[in-house]
Chain A
Amino acid sequence: EAQVTQNPRYLITVTGKKLTVTCSQNMNHEYMSWYRQDPGLGLRQIYYSMNVEVTDKGDVPEGYKVSRKEKRNFPLILESPSPNQTSLYFCASSRLLGDQPQHFGDGTRLSIL
């Protein structure tokens, strides 16, 4: 089954404790992306990657890091999480940017206390 898998689905943690949210896709997609969703703001793109070893900042990259060492994986790293990063996070992938819609993971709800 074609899917984008995120882990964990839920996480409650404390300020300053490094965390990683993993994202993996099994569709051999070149393009992968991370978004955060906050009430009233829609989805805002954090980082995206056009292919292995190629990453670019989205609209709200501050406080986040990503890496793309393999085509299937695109982890999101919060080196020193803060309460304003409490949000619902989605990973997405697509075959080619532009001509195909993105496939979204089920989301990760992060609470930073």
Chain B
Amino acid sequence: ELKVEQNPLFLSMQEGKNYTIYCNYSTTSDRLYWYRQDPGKSLESLFVLLSNGAVKQEGRLMASLDTKARLSTLHITAAVHDLSATYFCAVDWDDMRFGAGTRLTVKP
């Protein structure tokens, strides 16, 4: 069965701290996406990871892909309040499968 699992589902962290969100998927794929969703808003693309070992960084966020382990990580460095949102990973098979999302709250 095609499954995408994210953890944690809820994450509360203090400003300035580092943390990692994990995305595991059940069947081989070379295409993985990270999206951000603010409350009441649509989804915004963060990263597209297309090959094993791919690493992309934008500001305080860095995403990586290990296709052999079927694992992607989204690392947050020195969190700030503006990063508070829900983060989704999605894997592309014949259809697109999303994880359940990680609701991140960054507190001062």
Q: Are A56 and B95 in contact (CB under 8 A)?
A: yes
Q: Which residues of B in the span 54-108 have a Cβ within 8 Å of any Cβ on A?
A: 88, 90, 92, 94-101
Q: Given A42-B88, A100-B48, A101-B48, A107–B42 Cβ distance below 8 Å?
A: yes
Interface flag for A22 (CB, 8 Å)? no
Q: How many of B's residues come within 8 Å of A, CB to CB?
A: 25
Q: Which residues of B in the span 27-58 have a Cβ within 8 Å of any Cβ on A?
A: 31, 33, 35, 41-45, 48, 50
Residue of B nearest to A6 (CB): B42
Q: Are B100 and A41 in contact (CB under 8 A)?
A: yes
Interface flag for A30 (CB, 8 Å)? no
Q: Are B96 and A42 in contact (CB under 8 A)?
A: no
Q: Are B96 and A45 in contact (CB under 8 A)?
A: yes
Q: Given A58-B95, A98-B31, A105–B42 Cβ distance below 8 Å?
A: yes
Q: Given A56-B95, A98-B50, A104–B100 Cβ distance below 8 Å?
A: no
> What is the total of A-B residue contacts with beta carbons within 8 Å?
59
Interface flag for A48 (CB, 8 Å)? yes
Q: Which residues of A in the span 30-46 have a Cβ within 8 Å of any Cβ on B?
A: 33, 35, 40-45
Q: Which residues of A in the span 19-72 have a Cβ within 8 Å of any Cβ on B?
A: 33, 35, 40-45, 48, 56-59
Q: Are A90 and B101 in contact (CB under 8 A)?
A: no
Q: Are B33 and A42 in contact (CB under 8 A)?
A: no
Q: Given A40-B100, A98-B31, A107-B42, A56–B94 Cβ distance below 8 Å?
A: yes
A42 / chain B contacts, CB cutoff of 8 Å:
4, 6, 88, 98-101
Q: Are A43 and B88 in contact (CB under 8 A)?
A: yes
Interface flag for A97 (CB, 8 Å)? yes
Binding site for A on B (CB under 8 A): 2, 4, 6, 9, 31, 33, 35, 41-45, 48, 50, 88, 90, 92, 94-101
12 contacts between A and B (CB under 8 A): A35-B98, A41-B100, A43-B88, A43-B98, A45-B97, A59-B2, A90-B43, A92-B43, A98-B31, A101-B45, A101-B48, A104-B42
Given contacts A42-B100, A43-B43, 4 further A-B contacts (CB under 8 A): A45-B95, A59-B2, A59-B97, A90-B43
